[in-house]
Amino acid sequence: MTHRNRAALFFALLAAAGFFSVFFMAGVKPAGVLAATMLLAWLLVDRLIFAPAALMAREAAYLAQTKGTARAPIYPGRHLLGELVAAQKKLAESILSSRGEFNAQLEKATRQSEEQKRWLEVILVDLAEGVLVCNLNHQLLLYNQTATRLFSAPEAVGLGRPLFALVSRAAILHSLELLEHKRRTGLPGADDTLPFLCATADAKRLLEGRMGLILDAAGKTTAYVLTFTDMSNKTEELERAAKVRKALTRDLRQPVANLRAASETLSGFPNMDAKARLAFEHVLTEESARLSERLDELAASFRGHTLGRWPMGELHGADLISCLDRRLAPAGGPHVTLIGMPLWLQADHHLLLLMLAQLLRRLARRFHIAELDAETKLGDRRVYLDLIWRGEPVTDQELSSWLKEPLEGAEGPETVFDALERHGAEIWSQAAGGGYALLRLPLLAPMSAPVIKHEPDRPPPRPEFYDFSLLAQHADAGDLAERSLKSLTFVVFDTETTGLRPSQGDEIISIGGVRVVNGRLLTGETFERLVHPGRTIPPESIKFHHITDEMVKDKPPIAIVLPQFKSFAGDAVLAAHNAAFDLKFLHMKEKSTGVRFTNPVVDTLLLSRLADQHLADHSLDGVAERFNVDIPDRHTALGDALATAVVLVRLIEILESQGITTLGQVMRLTNMAAQMRATQENF
């Protein structure tokens, strides 16, 4: 309030005091005089101070709660607020001016964004490739119409829809991990895209794909772009080109050789007119030599380049076998079951599928086989694809005759041998032991994928967890005690959790499991569920498993998922690495879910201690490295369960060589080891 306004207020109060004196001298009672004076003072203060202040408060609220452009601000006329009104006027003008500039810039940015969006939509529409943009939760953020035509279920293509309802998971996760590894380590090509092959979710076809990362201003990956190409048309074109090349480099070679021989023979006939004979000989000899030389040049230019001219790409073993089994099913072919940990390989997927399907049909007819196993094994710079059946091996003579047969489904006179030659591979049959035989096909190992070791900053493994009383509840093998380990059915499982303390409120957020039957890892029989924990997931746990609150917000609770897992496990022997940890979480949910696990349980950590007592590292990473088992999806429930299953199969082989062959023996020895270990922990 300025000095002038203070003076005005003083004189107003002085006037009120004067009125009080006049009324008092006129004989009005003091109480009445006081009341009249106070009323007059209140009216003056309210009119000149309170009412203007209230108006300014309303205008300030209006300015704060609206865009402030609907009407001009209103300010009091006569008032005693001094410079406050003028200051608020300047503030309002500044706010309105800033808002106007902001709205102008926003409108300009919106126009630019809309223009860029229209350009992007036009570009995407014109692209022959299907384009999908996904966030790190693998949900669709953007797609084009070509993408909807690539998949059998176009209704599954939509904003926010899960990517893995369209394509298989393994190829995407592998490519994303590889690109992230290149970006973090600064390897050459870190900014490049990565090609791959993958199957559609229904395994009806294979797609040629390419992935690129989308980075924010800080260089952190926020999303990724996928492009897919339908390989059917490209494969037909390549087969037609192969037919032409074959005609130039192989099929015409014999006629040309005959032409040269005829010309040479003609030159030796003495009965022809000398002049005509000389001209004829000159033409035939020169033209045939020129044609022969040209064909030799063409053959030399094509030789050694066939592999590069065909769509050789990285292909996951699970995708290959899934598509092969689906291809054989309509014709009543043998059922193919993938066992073991599937590996990546480099192949021309189209010819490989044609070749394998034809060989397996021949094999099924020859030995009356209804089903067989397929397994990928890592060799010296090769991936061995083994096709295993109960029976005798194929003889070399019979296999050689199969390789000479025309390749069904290929254009032109392509043979099985031609398909093998394109992969630079041979195939042979041999006994596999135990009354089994196999066909072994060595294929190229992926060229672009480096061996991804666990980085030093990667979260450490779970601490070893021993609860002898808990393990003792699952130590009774019952009727299975005398059964050999290889004859049993195991369900190997793993959990991911919000933390390491189930008794203090930590919850399960993911369960993964896989079946092992008769010593065979059935990769196709898996269980994988995300679980809503009913609480937030701590950031320190997300560093392990990368499962966020957003990923589980629409997932079912444990009360629904645990009965599903119980149904999957059935009466099988349960197996896990550091099993007491996972069992503790299951037992904590018995009352709330009504699900009780009474299955026998084996712990691969304890089995490792039993098999290799002289070694110190029995963590899952340590045992996997010892057995040369790759864990591409480490710290995911299913990825760890698959790795543990491979480890279990290898450990069973070692234990059998040591004379430990039955489940009863294993249960007694591992429970003794657990009790001793728990006792050691107390000292």
Annotated catalytic residues are: 635
316 contacts 342 by C-beta, under 8 angstroms: yes
In 3-state terms, what secondary structure has residue 602?
A: strand
Cα–Cα distance, 279 to 427 (Å, whole number): 53
Do 325 and 207 form a contact (C-beta atoms < 8 A)? no
Q: Are 156 and 200 in contact (CB under 8 A)?
A: no
Provide the Cα torsion 305, 307, 309, 311; round to 10°.
Answer: -170
Task: Quote the tokens at residue 475.
Answer: 């130590």
What's the burial of 106, exposed, middle or buried (CB within 10 Å: 0-12/13-18/19+)? exposed
Which residues lie below 8 Å from residue 70, measured CB to CB, with a gap of 6+? none
Beta carbons within 8 Å of 54's beta carbon, 6+ residues apart? none
Q: Tell me the one-letter amino acid at 213.
A: L
Which amino acid would we find at residue 6?
Answer: R
Taking residue 417's Cβ as centre, other Cβ atoms within 10 Å add up to: 17
- Calpha distance 105→109 (Å, rounded): 6
E strand or H helix that includes residue 102:
helix 83-126
Cβ-contact 80, 1 below 8 angstroms: yes
Three-state SS for 225? strand
Which residues make Cβ contacts (< 8 Å) with residue 225, sequence separation at least 6? 131, 132, 133, 211, 212, 213, 214
Return the axis-axis angle of helices 349-367 and 396-403, rounded to nearest 10°: 140
Gap between the Cα atoms of 17 and 417, Å rounded = 120
Angle between helices 51-65 and 83-126 (to 10 degrees): 10
Among residues 625, 600, 585, 590, which one has the least CA distance to residue 491? 600
Residue 238 has a CB neighbour count (10 Å cut-off) of 18
Look at the alpha carbons of 454, 170, 407, 300 in this order and tell me if their dihedral is positive or negative.
Answer: negative
CA–CA distance, 322 with 316 (Å, rounded to integer) = 10
Which DSSP letter does residue 489 get? Answer: E
Query: What's the CA angle centered on 285, arms 283 and 290, to 5 degrees?
Result: 95
DSSP H or E stretch at residue 667? helix 663-681
